[in-house]
Chain A
Amino acid sequence: MNFYDIIFYIFAAITLLSALFVVTTRNIVHSAFYLLFTFFGVAGIYVLLGADFIAISQILIYVGGILILLLFGVMLTNKITNVEIRTGTVHMLPAAIASGIFMGAVVAVMVWTEWKSEPSVTPLTTTKDIGHLLLTDYVLIFELLGILLLVALIGAASIARRDKE
């Protein structure tokens, strides 16, 4: 058990424990803050897998963008008197049983399958190669995603605007 393994177990524990709190705590604001730790843990796992650029994008976009957006969503859709904003829950027991069975089945498959694993020698920095791939092999998807982001921007603004009285 070397240093790499210890770091992996620490990040996995952070990710899974905070994800558990995200889906079990009843206070929405607390959930949003636990989600912060989940995103950081996942970014750490990306770094361990040699994906430095994706890890930075994860922190910038998820923590800096999506999480702030979710917090705005929480704040704007509740009558705020204090930070105790609670959410109701439905079907707790059936959902726990079903997702538990699903988790067991998938983990069993993952453990028993003989993966043909040959770890690639990852380059020290991946940014240059990712940029190269984006403008050669994946240039069509890259352009389409640019259009999609523009459409999403206009669509979100037009859906959320106030009607003129």
Chain B
Amino acid sequence: MLQVGLTHFLIVSAILFSLGIYGIVTRKNAVMVLMGIELVLNSANINFIAFSKYGNFGLSGQVIALFVIILAAAEAAIALAIVLNIYKTFSNVNVDEIDHLKE
């Protein structure tokens, strides 16, 4: 059981995913919610690369992990632009208080 195999990587990824979900659900600050999303995307990437190695699919899993990283970068840029706009409009970024699209 101590011999590291596919299962170990999958367990690390599952724990990271749950921590990310916990962060997304409990945090009020929108930037902290984004950090939770990054954790979830990282755990998905670990799964892609682990299956790419242990499933013998060639390098497709690694290419898809690269695409996920690129999407995460685009998502972070757009989300932070939206967060800055929300801060300009409402003067705070607590996701439980913001329930209008405009003032």
**Does B98 have its Cβ within 8 Å of any Cβ on chain A?**
no
Contact A115 B6 (CB under 8 A): yes
Contact B42 A133 (CB under 8 A): no
**Does A83 have its Cβ within 8 Å of any Cβ on chain B?**
no
Contact A126 B74 (CB under 8 A): no
User: Closest approach, in angstroms, between the C-beta of A66 and any C-beta of chain B?
Assistant: 5
Looking at chain A, what size class is its interface with the partner chain?
Answer: 35 or more
User: Closest approach, in angstroms, between the C-beta of A139 and any C-beta of chain B?
Assistant: 11
CA distance A9 to B11 in the complex (A): 12
Contact A54 B53 (CB under 8 A): no
Known A-B contacts A8-B4, A99-B21, A130-B63; the reply to A19 vs B70 at CB < 8 A is: no
Within 8 Å by CB of A1, from B2, B19, B56, B92, lies B2
Chain A 107-145 interface mask (CB, 8 Å, partner B; 1/0): 100110001111110100010011001100110010001
CA distance A53 to B62 in the complex (A): 9
Nearest CB to that of A85 among chain B residues? B29
Within 8 Å by CB of A77, from B8, B25, B52, B83, lies B83
Nearest CB to that of B61 among chain A residues? A51
Looking at chain B, what size class is its interface with the partner chain?
Answer: 35 or more
**Does A5 have its Cβ within 8 Å of any Cβ on chain B?**
yes
Known A-B contacts A106-B17, A126-B62, A159-B78; the reply to A115 vs B54 at CB < 8 A is: yes
Within 8 Å by CB of B6, from A102, A117, A137, lies A117
Known A-B contacts A62-B69, A130-B59, A153-B77; the reply to A23 vs B19 at CB < 8 A is: yes
Show 26 residue pairs from A and B whose CB-CB distance is below 8 angstroms, ordered by the A residue. Answer: A1-B2, A15-B16, A23-B23, A23-B27, A31-B35, A38-B42, A49-B50, A51-B49, A65-B73, A66-B73, A69-B76, A89-B27, A100-B18, A120-B54, A126-B62, A130-B66, A133-B59, A148-B71, A148-B74, A149-B73, A152-B77, A155-B78, A155-B81, A156-B78, A157-B81, A159-B78
